[in-house]
A and B are shown apart, each in its own frame.
Chain A
Amino acid sequence: MTEIRFEKVWKEYGSAIVLENVDLTLADHEFLVVIGPSGVGKTTLLRLLLAQERPTRGRILLDGAEIAAEPTADRGVVFQRYSVFPHKTVLANVMLGPQWAGSPLLGRLFGARRRALRERAMALLDRVGLAEHAKKYPAQLSGGMQQRLALAQSLINKPKVLLLDEPFGALDPGSRRAMHVLVRELWEEQAMTIVMVTHDLMEAFHLGTRVVAIDRPRRDPQAPERYGATITSDFCAKPRIVRDSFRFEAARLRAAAEREADAPFLTRERD
């Protein structure tokens, strides 16, 4: 069970108010998508949740307790870029988290524990479609593959919340669609909460179970920094009752796909 609460959160930089009075309660296993125009404070909201920045007023609670004052392992993150370590191979990138947790001084596991971890990492890489690239360095991967690697790297630690800041913003449409499918499936499998920031409305409603828009409700043309952004709309994109039957639905879709495989003409038409 993971519940996230923003209680009247404000974020100001000096006299500039970026976020004002953000109030939000997020139930367990939601896929929250935050949309809003560029520069409105979406990344700032995510940084607050990461504890990369602290709110100037208000509190952020995770399961009833205030979040740690610095980034910790219960909140994973994938940024638009630079989320993976360029000096480590794909496999080593994925194995990092558990090695750090298991060996405070050396940051390396040995023997049976290492073999077990390697197996787990390879399974995860296989899941995100990078198994045959395990020995490469990130610079040898495409942008989409790097983002899949960043996902695997975060997921191996089983975070309660996964934060995504425009994770597909730099990808071409093809890999973007593939990533949508992957993230949706991982969200289902890992039963975690995802908070994703985007400025793409289609993406937001395609992926999210809940979509909030943030914007500045008031504006002072003389002093734009006087008013901050806050949640202006809140949509329940996929009601829980629909989601609860997701597995049933998935099974139905799989069965349908199998039927289509038996009738190749139909499949081709649909493509």
Chain B
Amino acid sequence: MRRIINYAPSPGVALLLGAAPFVAVGMFYLAASDARLAVDAADKLMPGLSAFYAQMSRLMTRVDPAVAQPLFWYDTWWSLSRLLQGIGWSALIGIVGGILIGFIPFLRATFEPLIFALSLIPPLAVLPILFIAFGLGETSKLVLIVFGIAPFIVRDVVLLVAAIPREQIIKAQTLGASTWQMIVDVVLPQALPRLIESVRLSLGSAWLFVIAAEAITAEGGLGYRIFLVRRYLAMDVILPYVVWITLLAFLLDYALRKLSAAAFPWAKLREA
């Protein structure tokens, strides 16, 4: 007998093991749903596969008269556009702010405490303020996402910039680089892979803020729909929507990871 930490599964076995919990949860759900439906065929809490299929094909294909397109795609488009705008602005603020604050000592002394304080404020607590200040439209939702994740990204980039070995910065100066040239050729390229990492880490919170804002008021969106149909206990809509949001989050994360690996081949080398 070796110690248990010295036994590792082969790749194939690892795949099977990883899939097993998903299969188990699915089977458990289906069994429980069958049992409930056997007792009461009109049960709404745990619909069966056929109910999901019927409801989803309706939402995906039937054009809703109010918005002139199928609701599912309409909601997806709204939520994704809010999410991507929020993340885009946050990333931009993060990289520009993070580099300037991390690299220029006077800016760092001035803004680092402020960024730290901002990142401690729970964004949802200021949501009412945002609604009052920016109205109930798209602006307040965008500001909520940016407020929620930009300070985190700025801080992360600041830490990365501060962690670039001093030797590199001195070396750049002995090669005649100006501050601008150091930012463009030394700091920015090394900060970008980290920016993508911290955007990936922020995706979860970004979704949280999108859905929270949509829950309160929106024209449409995945979160809006979930909270709207909650009143009718429409689990046949809510559960597929949750799965869809999870899938979108996974795909975004996957795309960012691939982008990082393709755009910054040297960053992987350093870890090796």
Contact = CB atoms under 8 A, between A and B. Distances in A.
Interface of A: 50, 52, 70-73, 75-77, 79, 81-88, 96-97, 100-101, 104-105, 107, 137, 139-140, 150, 153-154, 157, 159
Nearest to B185: A107
B173 A71 contact: yes
B10 interface: no
Given A100-B176, A100-B185, A137-B266, 14 more contacts: A79-B167, A84-B171, A85-B168, A85-B186, A86-B266, A86-B269, A86-B270, A96-B175, A100-B175, A107-B181, A139-B266, A140-B269, A154-B174, A154-B175
A159 B168 contact: no
A88 B189 CA distance: 9
A153 B167 CA distance: 14
A263 B171 CA distance: 46
Interface string B168-192: 1011111111101100111001100
Given A97-B176, A101-B176, A104-B178, A52 B170 contact: yes
Contacts of B174: 50, 71-73, 75-77, 154, 157, 159
A17 B114 CA distance: 36
A87 B267 CA distance: 7
Given A86-B190, A100-B185, A157 B175 contact: yes
B266 A82 contact: no
Nearest to A108: B185
B264 interface: yes
Contacts of B270: 86, 139
Given A100-B181, A107-B181, A73 B175 contact: yes
Given A50-B170, A79-B167, A107-B185, A87 B176 contact: no
B113 interface: no
B139 to A, nearest CB: 35
B122 interface: no
A139 B173 contact: no
**Would you list the 9 A-B pairs with minimal beta carbon distance, nearest first?**
A71-B173, A139-B269, A73-B176, A82-B165, A97-B175, A82-B167, A79-B167, A137-B266, A87-B189
Main secondary structure of the interface of B (DSSP, over half): helix
Given A79-B167, A86-B190, A137-B269, A104 B181 contact: yes
Contacts of A159: 174
B272 interface: yes
Contacts of B176: 72-73, 97, 100-101, 157
Contacts of B18: none
A160 to B, nearest CB: 11
B265 interface: yes
Contacts of B167: 79, 81-83
B143 to A, nearest CB: 34
6 contacts: A52-B170, A79-B170, A81-B167, A83-B168, A84-B171, A157-B176
A83 B171 contact: yes
A4 to B, nearest CB: 15
A142 B170 CA distance: 22
Contacts of B269: 86, 137, 139-140
A50 B175 CA distance: 12
A176 B172 CA distance: 25
A159 B171 CA distance: 12
A83 B178 CA distance: 18
A82 B176 CA distance: 18
Contacts of B171: 77, 79, 83-84, 150, 153-154
A145 to B, nearest CB: 14
Interface in B225-272: 264-267, 269-270, 272
B150 to A, nearest CB: 25
A79 B167 CA distance: 7
A239 B254 CA distance: 65
Nearest to A97: B175
A104 B266 CA distance: 26
Contact of A72 (B173, B181, B189): B173
Nearest to B271: A139
Nearest to A77: B174
Interface string B141-152: 000000000000
Contacts of A101: 176
Given A83-B167, A86-B190, A107-B185, A139 B272 contact: yes
Given A82-B165, A87-B190, A87-B266, A70 B181 contact: no
A100 B178 contact: yes
Contacts of A157: 174-176
Contacts of A70: 173
Nearest to B177: A100
Nearest to A80: B167
Contact of B264 (A87, A96, A97): A87
